[in-house]
Structure 1
């Protein structure tokens, strides 16, 4: 036991044992939430490291990237993103997002303003309730509008080397963008970046220091059955660390398998309707770029040649790209639903091969160049960018039958089984909280012992991770996963 383990003081004295299947964003966050409190938790992950699933690159504070989702989902995502930034501050890239509306789009900028005003008002309320919620900048500047004449003026400025004001984030954009292709005003929103590599680093570092969290990497669950004698769950899994098949009994099972959740449901004969969508983002290098770049989103109609284009910046001229067209991020027949016989939607073999094996090099090249061309419609010089790495890809689960759902967290089956059903990574903490409440309801955790920590996020070990050690571990993960180190570095 290392020094961090010996000094960690559990709040809960309980014999309850929890199994979490899947070490993605949801599984890792729940494991940290429970183990920090002192609940005995085993995290079983089939991969070689944590948080190695579908790509994410921002917090989705307010759901500003989606016009089609409801206002309530936006408000939910705002609160979830604030909580996430407070728990994982060293994983956040603190730079805003520009939202621009091309002239090819049928919408108008004025259509977004009522929602943004409500989000801004709600953010201000949350900050007034608790000053620690002020993680998205000044509430009065949650979103700002910039007319064309303002951008023309910013074009004349020298490129700033650091951001001392919000306007500094628009100088490089104003100099490089084709303003004739946009409607005005342009929006600047405090929608921040979120690094998957840095989150993986934090989760790994903290779990290694928590004596009540037992991490089983390279391990895959092959069977689950309920014991009638004591109502416990017996989990059988191939233990890659020990090189054998192992069994263990648990009081509560959490299915955090993401797009594979249906396979665990089927083991328990737990019916569930869900969808799965395969998506990809692409990595480009634009060494000629200069100045400070925020994230930039050009709205567009999903699934059409003019679908949304998204540019996410990292250090050293590296960018992550999305394009909501069938030739870039979306795929023909990439969205599938579960049927009557199984809770697991069946993706085509061509997608499974991409997930489990390797992308054909020609497809990597063609789709990445296509995404570069898609952004170059608005940022002409971005055509100079080149393919930098394999895509960042994965399958995203969507519970139920609403393909536009973005704010979701957890569902329950029976007494001691929960499924995390997050669509966006920033919903993981809400899923952990909901399951913790359920543990109290079914009598496995004492509300007296939890006290205020049922409603308070208690993460002392997680928050003690330093920026330097997070960066070192994140860079290691980037190398192991064959991505540029720049994607793992703190953006600021």
Structure 2
């Protein structure tokens, strides 16, 4: 399918992007919005259909093990993401609780939270448009047990109006004696993969500078030694002919945005790269008896152990997405694989490839979802009544290099006129797109005027209304066999 386009300014340079996930789609938007000719290849039927994106990571507070610098990078990237894609966020806070059984201490989180709050304050003072995570003074709040006991006695608010309101269902449902204090509430918002997909699809359909080819599988690359241009050979299914048609596009610059399959394009381009790929899944559950409007809740734990972190992500209509960082739930035995000296593409075993390309076995969906429910009910006992709510949200996440804890990464440049996106978190996609613009400018391949204002550089994207985005997002969710509630906004 080629998405229809309207008039816009063109440049002489043509950029090819292989992969229409969050990184490839964001880069396509960034370039097309400033008048650069783009052709975007996506093997699947629609854009942004990959790993279980559910979180902005505005400060990296879910991860105790990453550096302060990564947290600062994620904070800035998340702020930029919300400025450009305001309709993709679920605007509700996140609660971070440390169980008594955990070796960590809540006090260890405080220096980082104070650093992030001050940094957010500085960013808002430098540009009022950066105030997208609420008031800087409200970036986080600490709760002791006595305060939570008082909140537990209050009635559930119909609509949370204060930070304390968000804590009431948490206080009512946790055994407060089983946690270390303080418990933290932080303005770490959710992110909807379906509304990201809808935003990208709708905005690109309005831009005549971007040609989107879905159902297009790239199978060969050739680079001209004298011009440095790339020939991208691909196959695309032709519905009229009921057959695959082979075609080729010539581009001046090639961007490899293939996510967990980035190594396959590196191999075609003969540009090796060391990386890891990790298969993960999150589980859709339905808690019919849930009461109140919940924040997201993170229960810290040691990754990969039976006591791994538990993550409760709320959606409308009683749906909750669950992560349990154990090998029985979100993580998988042998689910983390490495590239080799002769192959830039880490090779997942056949059972993972089957999940990624075909379908899960129903019994495994039930088994792992049930385990996730049990894991969560250790902390929220009433959650034991939840049931399987749909298919898992799953995918394989690439991690450049050898550091499995890396979370803030965006792009690398290699060879001639070649780049590969290496985002680990969705909020890094815009950073990768900005780096591409700077690179193309430095090479003299584009002379498009960039205003320096995020809002001014994305006029088409920001012209979309929440109603438009949400409506199309619900259609995408249903097409992908997920509850439409996962596409609807959760708003503070």
**Common topology (TM > 0.5):** yes
Partner of 1:392: 393
Shift of residue 240 of structure 1? 2.6
Query: Following the alignment from structure 2 to structure 1, what is the Cα–Cα distance between the partners of residues 85 and 62?
Result: 22
Retained in 1: the 8 A contact 2:5–2:205? no
Shift of residue 181 of structure 1? 1.1
Partner of 1:208: 205
Given the superposition, is the C-alpha separation of residues 241 and 436 from structure 1 closer, same or farther in structure 2, using an over 3 Å criterion?
farther
Retained in 2: the 8 A contact 1:217–1:241? no
1:397-447 C-alpha deviation (Å, 9 max, x unpaired): 00001111000000111120000000011000000011111101111012x
Query: Following the alignment from structure 2 to structure 1, what is the Cα–Cα distance between the partners of residues 478 and 454?
Result: 38
Gap regions ≥5 residues in structure 1: none
Given the superposition, is the C-alpha separation of residues 176 and 467 from structure 1 closer, same or farther in structure 2, using an over 3 Å criterion?
same
Partner of 1:475: 474
Shift of residue 452 of structure 1? 3.0
Partner of 1:189: 186
Query: Following the alignment from structure 2 to structure 1, what is the Cα–Cα distance between the partners of residues 352 and 122?
Result: 44
Partner of 1:312: 313
Given the superposition, is the C-alpha separation of residues 451 and 204 from structure 1 closer, same or farther in structure 2, using an over 3 Å criterion?
closer
RMSD over aligned Cα, in angstroms? 1.5
Shift of residue 268 of structure 1? 1.1
Moved more, 215-224 or 170-179: 170-179
Number of residue pairs matched by the alignment: 486
The residue matched to 1:174 in structure 2 has which SS?
A: helix
What pairs up with 1:71-220 in 2 under 5 angstroms? 71-220=68-217
Retained in 1: the 8 A contact 2:304–2:326? yes
* 1:419 is aligned to 2:420: yes
Shift of residue 231 of structure 1? 2.3
Query: Following the alignment from structure 1 to structure 2, what is the Cα–Cα distance between the partners of residues 184 and 134?
Result: 29
* 1:442 is aligned to 2:443: yes
Pairing partner for 1:24 from 21, 43, 47: 21
* 1:351 is aligned to 2:352: yes
Q: State the TM-score, normalizing by the size of structure 1.
A: 0.97
Q: State the TM-score, normalizing by the size of structure 2.
A: 0.97
* 1:489 is aligned to 2:482: no
The residue matched to 1:100 in structure 2 has which SS?
A: strand
Query: Following the alignment from structure 1 to structure 2, what is the Cα–Cα distance between the partners of residues 26 and 262?
Result: 15
Given the superposition, is the C-alpha separation of residues 241 and 72 from structure 1 closer, same or farther in structure 2, using an over 3 Å criterion?
farther
Query: Following the alignment from structure 1 to structure 2, what is the Cα–Cα distance between the partners of residues 185 and 454?
Result: 39
Gap regions ≥5 residues in structure 2: none
Partner of 2:465: 466
Given the superposition, is the C-alpha separation of residues 319 and 2 from structure 1 closer, same or farther in structure 2, using an over 3 Å criterion?
closer
The residue matched to 1:240 in structure 2 has which SS?
A: strand
Query: Following the alignment from structure 1 to structure 2, what is the Cα–Cα distance between the partners of residues 56 and 103?
Result: 29
Given the superposition, is the C-alpha separation of residues 256 and 262 from structure 1 closer, same or farther in structure 2, using an over 3 Å criterion?
same
Retained in 2: the 8 A contact 1:415–1:442? no
* 1:66 is aligned to 2:63: yes
* 1:409 is aligned to 2:410: yes
Shift of residue 164 of structure 1? 1.2
